[in-house]
Structure 1
Amino acid sequence: MLRDTASNEIFTILIMCGLLAISLAKVAYTNRFNDFSAILLNSKYLNIYSKDQKFLDWFDALMFINFIISTAIFICICYNALFSNLQLDINVMFKIVFSIGIFLLVKVLFERLLASIFNIDEVMDNYLFQKTSYKNFFGMLLIPVNAILIYSITPSKTIIYITLSLLIFLTIAGLSSSLKRYRSLIKSNLFYFILYLCTLEIAPYIILYKFVTMY
């Protein structure tokens, strides 16, 4: 069962690590964090901070750490509810967190490589910044979601499907606002845009899903 004491202890430690990363980001970058918290309500954060991107951004790094941790916890919850009970220990959770982090980093680096090859660095940089920002925001939203599913509600398949649907809807709604900015560019390069979606936005997650369900 998901409510096994050892599993809950691991989840509690990971949730606290995620909260610590968010707290450090808020303390060190208070104004930026306040703008970031309203990312779904207005585009102020994206307009201001997309112009000052750095290769290593500590704010994004701290929020990304929480995103990886929260995503790993949510994947374990979903796997236990939809497939079978996953025997969790610190080594298993470390492998899951590490694998998700490597997967996302390699994906971003590959996207940047393609951007350089096709000479669309500026467009891709802005798009990746917006996409990463939305991911980090939803990673923050996953903390209370994970806490409720672990400590309050027994996660059934119905609850998991409803939660996934809401998260997917919010993600699509957020990214759609980003895509509007490049509407004319997308229309003139519709084939390449569809190819990009299939190869870099859909295929990697299908492969990851197959890998998780098989192993």
Structure 2
Amino acid sequence: MRVTSTLLALTLAAALQPALADTVSLKFEDLTQVTALTDQYASSGISFSGDVWGTVSRLNGCGGTEAWTRSDAVSCGAIEVGKNIQDLPGSDTASFTINVANGFIEAFSFVFASRATPNVSIMIWDGLNGTGNQLLAQPVSLSGDVCTSVYFCGPWTSSSLAFAGIAHSITVSAGDQLFAMDDLSFITPAASNALPEPGSVGLAAGALGALAWVRRRKTR
């Protein structure tokens, strides 16, 4: 009887597990070369469009081609805003969009590095492709230390942009090749006291009923 109760309890926990979804994180350590980012992370529900590149450092044994490093973490991959980071930087502003198909809530977290005065603007939207309502009241200005030896260096700065509502996209703009990001983190709606799906509710109800029946039999 004790084994039966344990199995039913495990069934109940599994049924309710979708309500405890994990944070979705992108660290870009799977990148092996400079590449324009599009749908490489579609399996995580995240896509990119515009002037954004996956970049791999050539330092610290990373085997890439780009001159950047992080002293706060072991990291070989990151993303950089730029028209074409394989060319010399231009004077134009570059911009890109991050779409999160299933939405995200509460905050968008990341680390960043910048060069000179990057004039960074980050906006969070409730629609895809930078449309709908702005959930972040105004553009966020970020700046970092100037590197003298490589493009991006030192301990990258952590940032977390809080907002209210359910967001589906982020737009980022900055001076061409002056801003890099890593360790992107999104909280899925299910991770914040969301209700489980109807099917899970039914399974959970069945498990609770079975547990009650087992306990009644034990008291007889």
TM-score interval (norm. to shorter): under 0.3
Task: Report the TM-score when normalising by structure 1.
Answer: 0.24
Structure with bigger gyration radius: 2
Structure 1 or 2: larger helix share?
1
Structure 1 or 2: larger strand share?
2
